[in-house]
Structure 1
Amino acid sequence: MVTAHLLIPLIVGVGFGLDFAAAYSLKSRLQNAADAAVVGSISKNSPSVTAAIEMSGDGPVPEGKADAEALFSDNLRDRILASLRRWLRPLTNQD
């Protein structure tokens, strides 16, 4: 009987741990995608740098925002797909 009562907090604790690990993993993926988007959008040959060089004055560079958003989306999608493939590989392996 005591074991049954102790099992509930143990399951709750494991659940919290798994949720925390999933949230931390998602945070890391989002941060990596954001970092890659920033670095990619200010690289030497990017459309945003080309547009900024061709500007006649100061101000925002709309191409930079669009370029960074596209890089972020592509990078995040690629990372998520890679994770899914890694998790699904053992399930689809037909040895």
Structure 2
Amino acid sequence: MISLEELVEEISRFEAIISEWEESQRCVAIGLKRAIEDLHKEALTRLIKSVKQESLSALRNAVQDEVVYGVLLYHELVKSPTLPLQQRTRMHTDKHR
């Protein structure tokens, strides 16, 4: 499986490329990114509500995965992590705030 760190590094590479574009092009890319993030946040919110009603333990189990947790944290759908998990997700959250 691909790690959270590898996924964040890939995003960072694309952000570096986009940072060199003209402002109008950057605005389009940023708008697209926001629209995709809004879609993902809404889908995740609905998924969490559905799973929570059926199986809270399944949801807690899923959140133990650092990639799942990192994405939910990015979208502010979970509370800030405890110290050990915070260390694993710090790179992700720092680069995307």
TM range (shorter): 0.3 to 0.5
Name the structure, 1 or 2, with higher relative contact order (CA <8 Å, separation 6+): 2
TM-score (norm 2): 0.38
